[in-house]
Amino acid sequence: MRIVVLAGGIGGARFLRGLQQASPDADITVIGNTGDDIHLFGLKVCPDLDTVMYTLGGGINEEQGWGRTDETFHLKEELAAYGVGPEWFGLGDRDFATHIVRTQMLSAGFPLSAVTEALCDRWKPGVRLIPMSDDRVETHVAVTLPDSGERKVIHFQEYWVRLRASVPAEAVVPVGAEQAKPAPGVLEAIAEADVILFPPSNPVVSVGTILAVPGIREAIAEAGVPVVGLSPIVGDAPVRGMADKVLAAVGVESTAAAVAEHYGSGLLDGWLVDTVDASAVERVEAAGIRCRAVPLMMSDLDAAARMAVEALTLAEEVRGA
């Protein structure tokens, strides 16, 4: 079975680990979000691609869900000693190697998709990881800074990591998305998929950014195969991260049903909500999307695998409908 998954960071990566356990023989292609990418110290950092690669490759810092395990921060300390910022983004020594190799290959003219393939040759994630685009897309957020009251547009990572999303996101803009083209293999993977999954990733800055690349949303809508998503919102709050802050920016209430409606029945055929949101099932089905309430807390690998089974089961129900 050929499965395509649109993945962001931590939630998407953890779901993928469950999907691999649930469907070991499946041919899984991951279309990774690159809107979180940031250029630091002359290096290109791809947080969501690295989180998938490290999580499935066995190198992730499990508690954080990002960065490497057994990490040290000598490079970061030395840079700070030189007064070279920013200090708010925790790049570890092992992680730096990934960004140096990536930046070297990009400078030599390799597209990000080829670079990602080369990095995955080492990590062997067991999925094909393709960036949504080889073109530069960076999510920026309009905020009113708390101390000065100044209105500013800042990089997503500054909003997410330095400000901890502590102020409202007044606008979320995937800069460059309109001019971006799907990376080689993205549209082909969607066209050849037997099922397409939206994991519990951030619907605005992760899955939303992937869908903002012209051609990807259309390809999924026209793929003619079941498209099933899992709600990242449980009990009116994000399971992790601060999805509610960016959902507000696009006028979507932080509920499992609202996120399904936001994706729309033109895109989604099925939607899984957590058992605590069972009352949302009726509203989602009224929107033309089949809905089931199942446990959605990825407390461990087996829980993630059970969620993956539920998603694939719903996909078959939709296919048979």
Residues that bind ligand FO1 (CB under 6 A): 8-10, 36, 45, 47-48, 50-51, 66-67, 89-91, 95, 157, 160-161
127: enclosing H helix or E strand: none
Shortest Cβ distance from residue 321 to ligand FO1 (Å)? 34
171: enclosing H helix or E strand: strand 171-175
Shortest Cβ distance from residue 130 to ligand FO1 (Å)? 18
Q: Is the bond preceding 182 in cis, omega lying within 30 degrees of 0?
A: no
Nearest to ligand FO1 of 8, 125 (CB atom)? 8
The torsion angles phi and psi of 44, rounded to 5 degrees, stand at -95, 120
Question: Which residues contact residue 64 at a Cβ distance below 8 angstroms, ignoring those fewer than 6 apart?
Answer: none
Shortest Cβ distance from residue 276 to ligand FO1 (Å)? 24
Nearest to ligand FO1 of 20, 157 (CB atom)? 157
Beta-carbon neighbour count of residue 248 at 10 Å?
16
Nearest to ligand FO1 of 71, 253 (CB atom)? 71
Instruction: From 103, 271, 102, select the one nearest 203 (Cα to Cα).
Output: 271
Distance in angstroms (rounded) separating the CA atoms of residues 251 and 261: 12
Nearest to ligand FO1 of 9, 174 (CB atom)? 9
Residue of minimal CB distance from ligand FO1? Answer: 9
Nearest to ligand FO1 of 50, 277 (CB atom)? 50
Distance in angstroms (rounded) separating the CA atoms of residues 169 and 241: 14
Shortest Cβ distance from residue 191 to ligand FO1 (Å)? 27
Shortest Cβ distance from residue 157 to ligand FO1 (Å)? 5
Distances (CA, A) of 230 to 42, 142, 173, 234: 37, 28, 24, 10
Nearest to ligand FO1 of 41, 287 (CB atom)? 41
DSSP letter assigned to residue 300: S
Shortest Cβ distance from residue 139 to ligand FO1 (Å)? 9
